[in-house]
Amino acid sequence: MNTPAAVGRAPYGPDGRGEKVVALVAHPDDAELLCYGTLRRAAQAGATVTVVVVTHGANGVSLADAADGRRLGTDERAEEVRAAWRLTGIQLTFLGMPDGALVADRHLISAVEAELTRLGCTLLITHSLHADTDHQDHRALAGAAANAATRVATCHTVLHGEPHAPRAAFAPAVLVDITEHLDDKVTALAAHRTQAGRWYLGKDYTHHRAAQAGWRLRPAAAEAGRAYESFETSVLTLFPQEDWS
């Protein structure tokens, strides 16, 4: 069984024990969009996997819904995250910051660094650094995460997931085969019922993006029907041997 790039002491081998994989995301549906299958693969390989959701997402309503008086509670979307990851063995942490106004300042950077240190993060997955049209919270958190990770001694690899923003300058170099988890990813995204109707959460888009990643970097495998999640990387350490315990 293949495992995510750099998961495990021999990063392309089957053993992820001892790895602490952290998906650090801005909003309650972001981890499912960016790296659902990758996290499932990491957990299967024996890694400890944690999703850290930075904001509560309560402002995640459309202008039309807001005009109709639709409001979300600060814990409503956290319940959707719990439903999406139920029975997967993946841990969840919620920082509860307001969404829509993240800034990569010392407060956010310090909060991120503290979480990565607390979790002993070895492999960090977060938003892309190269997506100018992406959500402002995604851009802020990507910068804060890349900054903080440089001071977390255990963090040997940082991956940046594919944004769903149009016209984003995203240039992936890392693929994770998620074929066996693609249907589960669709189900997990559907758990975000308060976001129903958003095109980027739908089955068609999810399948398209998973195929497109393969066609871009591994067309022969894509032709054979394999599905992928793709990532950029700001640091990739092969065969890490450090023991910081």
DSSP assignment of 197-225: T-GGGSHHHHHHHHHHHHHHH-HHHHHTT
Phi, psi of 203 (to 5 degrees): -65, -45
Q: What pLDDT is stored for residue 55 in this prediction?
A: 96
- State how far the Cα of 130 lies from the Cα of 132, in Å rounded to an integer: 6
Contact (CB, 8 A) for 34 and 229: yes
In the block, tokens 């089955």 appear at: 203
Maximum Cα interatomic distance, the chain, rounded to a whole number of Å: 56
pTM of the model: 0.90
Write out residues in the chain with pLDDT < 50, as ranges.
1-14
Structure tokens at 96: 């509860």
What pLDDT, on a 0 to 100 scale, did the predictor assign at position 81?
Answer: 98
User: At a CB cut-off of 8 Å and minimum separation 6, what does 49 contact?
Assistant: 21, 22, 23, 39, 42, 43, 89, 90, 91
